[in-house]
Chains A and B, each alone.
Chain A
Amino acid sequence: MAAITSDFSFMPVLPKWVVPVLLLAFAYGVVPLIGSSYLFEAILLPFLALSLAGVGLNILTGYAGQVSLGSAAFMAAGAFAAYNFNLRVEGLPLIGSIFLAGIVAAAIGIVFGLPSLRLKGFYLAVSTLAAQFFVQWALTKFSWFSNDSASGVIDAPRLSIAGVALDSAIGRYLFALTIVAILTFLAYRLVSSQTGRNFIAIRDNETAARIIGIPVLKTKLLAFAISSFIIGVAGVIWAFAYLRTVEPDGFDLDRSFQILFIIIIGGLASIRGAFFGAALIVVFPLALSRLGGFLLGDLFDSGVLDMSQRIVLGALIILFLILEPDGLVALWDRIRRRLLFAWQST
């Protein structure tokens, strides 16, 4: 056993890229072969969209310390902008409209980020609520945004990149996966760069950051812009790849809270945390409802079941936050350390 142990003792110092690359290889190579349509449509697509939104919000809230309740508004801005670019600009490739949609969301993010120069904490959270209400109001009020469709609900355009149609469940999954992978990689590079360290400096002590020469105004707005860009693209995935339809009501305050919970439960200031948190928020209620339906479906109607699931879910989240306030990422790291330690000591 000793020889094997020494062979594996290099595990903790594996290069950082190995696990993500293995995961991506699995996601691209294996999942499309074994997954069912339910897996793609009901689990993986919302998971990918919400994870990306979580990554975006984590840059703003986790790294730069600016609390925001406007995430859903930026998702909506991205989704509607992509729809309009796609509709109104002839010959613009899909990727182009998605990129421009991100830019639009970033611009709106900068505007609503301006109060962050004067406001902090809860006060800032309340002022980002303005973004939430304003964007939703504007999208409902001006029917131009939804191409004057009678009900204000728009249909996603057909997805195709370079002539390859991606309308099947697997195609949309690969489309979403690729965008999420690229943006997550860029976000990861960003937070380990000088800019990322500036974010953290401002979060930890704004005055100190100012004194050592970090341009606070610029850095905060940059955090808002980048975060909104990513969240806007997440909104495009939500609308185009997942639901295939979009209405302003789908991006309400609840969605903003959901994204905030994802990063709190997953782990603040951690790129991985967004994925852990989204997995929990997406998969756990489904598992619970399946279990509830399986065990008690014949005894109670779906309303009672749903209410009891909410109670269980809420209680578990409270319990979890008490036991592990640093989020799933911290829990995961601790488990991994324990396992490795146990392995090495055998």
Chain B
Amino acid sequence: MTFLSTIKAAALSAAMIVSVALPAAHADEQYFPLQSYRVGPYAAGGTGFFGGFIDYLNLINIRDGGVNGVKLTWDECETQYEVERGVECYERQKSHAGAAAWNPLSVGIAYAMIDRITADKVPLITVNHGRTDSTDGRVFPYVFPLLLNPYSETSGIVNYIASKEGGIDKLKGKKIVVLYHGSPYGKETIPIYELLAQKYGFTVQQIEVPHPGNEQQSQWLTIRRAKPDFVVLRGWGVMNPVALKTAVKVGFPVDHIVGNVWSNSEEDVIPAGDAAKGYTAITTQASGNSYPVVQEIVKTVYGAGKGNLEDKSRIGSVYHNLGIVNGILNVEAIRVAQEKFGHRTLTGDEVRWGFEHLKLDPAKVEALGAKDLFHSINVSWDNHEGEGYVTFQQWDGKKWNVVSDWIAPDWALLRPIIEKSAEAYAAEKGIKLRTADDADAVTTN
């Protein structure tokens, strides 16, 4: 009898503790569900990006005690970049209270989540990638391809090539070959290259490299016959170093190859060895560890033994810095939303409002210790990309050096195409276009 009553009392008090303590514990926490990938073919990108993201969240917790006292929490669920694992992780992690935003870093997983996060009203961040037409906030209220969508990236690359040739009018009659990865990601920019070629009068030839791309002899022989002025490398993973090595083999000058935003990391050039010397690639965030925010992470987070990267030499690498920039964008969106809704755990919809008012001008970026790490962002309710600037970096055999100013993609040219595509999606799915007033209606609990 005594045993039973002890159990009963224990159960009762446990229930009391849970019912009382849990809301209290969550009252000042904001949770990040991280669908990360640390194994599988894309682990290099996953460990770097999520490492940087976690490092920045840790920095905010250790240095500032959270965002205005609201502590940041997270847990990881391994996706291996596979869609169904990502969906399982989503279902597993969404029951956690106080989710701020989803950052799967996978086009496939992001596509599968669009319906789900829209129903659950939590933002989905696809920094530097994702579905181009989700830039249109009228149709995709919860999806944010922050900084750079694939079309802007294309425009940035073409503008850079134009500046190398001495102006946009000099593109006329030039020839550009796009070597793209045979996947949904690789194909996303085919129509926009055709369109820009028509507009600026250059010819474009787009050549597919079947996944995974570890054999490219025939593609590069075709390129040699075509004698293009520039080759744009739109690769992923092992395809990139193989492309650089094969280019050297067929005698194509590597400094006339321009890499896209997923062909721009140390992991893409180091395996190619000397063949990569002189290779240029686009980026939204410069590489290197000299930026104050990276230095603070080294001092505060790694100094306390809480750093996420096992290999310390990867601190400040392209993927790590992208993770840090992604951390800055997420945290600042929370800060913006907190100013409006109060310094407390926010709902997903409140964080969405925060992202839609996320405006970091260069001065603000400097105050965050990220001057020159990335340029600026200006998100609004109907522009979910936020006008990110791009820059170009050249590999010297040891490190990336920035070789251009910050370049603005031609947003005015791209916007009508994006809107057309988004409206077609809305019609197909029966979505009513959102207005500015709809965007200000926020679910607060």
Which chain A residues have a beta carbon within 8 Å of chain B's beta carbons? 37-38, 41-42, 46, 137, 140, 143, 150-153, 155, 158, 242-245, 247, 249-250, 286, 289, 297, 301-307
With contacts A37-B91, A243-B87, A302-B78 taken as known, whether A151 is within 8 angstroms of B107 at the C-beta atoms is yes
B64 at the interface (CB under 8 A from A): no
A–B pairs, 11, beta carbons within 8 Å: A42-B91, A150-B191, A151-B107, A151-B185, A158-B430, A245-B83, A301-B76, A302-B36, A303-B47, A306-B78, A306-B80
B184 touches A152 (CB 8 A): yes
B369 at the interface (CB under 8 A from A): no
Name the CB-closest residue of A to B38: A303
A302 touches B77 (CB 8 A): yes
Select one of B37, B83, B187 contacting A150, CB under 8 A: B187
**Which range holds the interface residue count of chain B?**
35 or more
B87 touches A249 (CB 8 A): no
B292 at the interface (CB under 8 A from A): no
Chain B residues lying within 8 Å of A303, measured Cβ to Cβ, are 37-39, 43, 47, 78
Docked complex Cα distance between A104 and B280 (Å) = 47
Q: Which of A150, A155, A297 has the most CB of B within 10 A?
A: A150
Docked complex Cα distance between A116 and B191 (Å) = 41
Comparing B65-73, B108-116, B238-246, the segment that makes contact with chain A is B108-116
B92 touches A38 (CB 8 A): yes
A297 touches B132 (CB 8 A): no
What distance in Å separates the Cβ of A45 from its nearest Cβ neighbour in chain B? 9
Q: Which of B33-47 contact A (CB under 8 A)?
A: 36-39, 43, 47
Select one of B75, B84, B111, B210 contacting A46, CB under 8 A: B84
What distance in Å separates the Cβ of B130 from its nearest Cβ neighbour in chain A? 9
With contacts A150-B421, A151-B188 taken as known, whether A301 is within 8 angstroms of B38 at the C-beta atoms is yes
Name the CB-closest residue of A to B151: A150
Which chain B residues have a beta carbon within 8 Å of chain A's beta carbons? 36-39, 43, 47, 75-78, 80, 83-84, 87-88, 91-92, 95, 107-108, 111-112, 114-116, 131-133, 182-185, 187-191, 210-211, 308, 421, 425, 428-430
Select one of B75, B78, B91, B184 contacting A41, CB under 8 A: B91
Docked complex Cα distance between A243 and B77 (Å) = 18
Chain B residues lying within 8 Å of A42, measured Cβ to Cβ, are 87-88, 91-92
Chain A residues lying within 8 Å of B115, measured Cβ to Cβ, are 155, 244
Chain B residues lying within 8 Å of A150, measured Cβ to Cβ, are 132-133, 187-191, 421
A245 touches B38 (CB 8 A): no
Chain A residues lying within 8 Å of B84, measured Cβ to Cβ, are 46, 242-243, 250
Chain A residues lying within 8 Å of B182, measured Cβ to Cβ, are 140
Q: Which of A38, A41, A289, A306 has the most CB of B within 10 A?
A: A306
Docked complex Cα distance between A37 and B93 (Å) = 12
A302 touches B38 (CB 8 A): yes
With contacts A151-B107, A305-B78 taken as known, whether A243 is within 8 angstroms of B184 at the C-beta atoms is no
Docked complex Cα distance between A46 and B133 (Å) = 29
Chain B residues lying within 8 Å of A307, measured Cβ to Cβ, are 39
Q: Which of B80, B185, B421 has the most CB of A within 10 A?
A: B185
What distance in Å separates the Cβ of B77 from its nearest Cβ neighbour in chain A? 7
Chain A residues lying within 8 Å of B429, measured Cβ to Cβ, are 155, 158
Given A46-B84, A243-B87, A303-B78, 8 additional A-B pairs, CB 8 A: A38-B92, A150-B132, A247-B108, A247-B184, A250-B108, A289-B78, A302-B38, A307-B39
A245 touches B91 (CB 8 A): no
Docked complex Cα distance between A81 and B95 (Å) = 35
Docked complex Cα distance between A216 and B43 (Å) = 49
Name the CB-closest residue of B to A301: B38
A151 touches B95 (CB 8 A): no
Chain A residues lying within 8 Å of B88, measured Cβ to Cβ, are 41-42, 286
A153 touches B95 (CB 8 A): no
B92 touches A153 (CB 8 A): no
Docked complex Cα distance between A137 and B208 (Å) = 12
B111 touches A247 (CB 8 A): yes
Chain B residues lying within 8 Å of A155, measured Cβ to Cβ, are 111, 114-115, 425, 428-429
Chain B residues lying within 8 Å of A158, measured Cβ to Cβ, are 429-430
Docked complex Cα distance between A242 and B113 (Å) = 12
A243 touches B185 (CB 8 A): no
What distance in Å separates the Cβ of B394 from its nearest Cβ neighbour in chain A? 29
Docked complex Cα distance between A245 and B308 (Å) = 33
Docked complex Cα distance between A153 and B36 (Å) = 21
Name the CB-closest residue of B to A87: B428
Chain A residues lying within 8 Å of B80, measured Cβ to Cβ, are 306
Docked complex Cα distance between A41 and B194 (Å) = 40
What distance in Å separates the Cβ of B297 from its nearest Cβ neighbour in chain A? 17
Docked complex Cα distance between A155 and B38 (Å) = 28
Name the CB-closest residue of A to B190: A150
Docked complex Cα distance between A153 and B75 (Å) = 28
What distance in Å separates the Cβ of A88 from its nearest Cβ neighbour in chain B? 13
Chain B residues lying within 8 Å of A46, measured Cβ to Cβ, are 84
Chain B residues lying within 8 Å of A250, measured Cβ to Cβ, are 83-84, 108
Docked complex Cα distance between A143 and B47 (Å) = 33
What distance in Å separates the Cβ of B145 from its nearest Cβ neighbour in chain A? 12
A297 touches B107 (CB 8 A): no
Docked complex Cα distance between A103 and B61 (Å) = 57
Docked complex Cα distance between A323 and B91 (Å) = 35
Q: Which of A37, A155, A301 has the most CB of B within 10 A?
A: A301
Name the CB-closest residue of A to B54: A301
A249 touches B184 (CB 8 A): yes
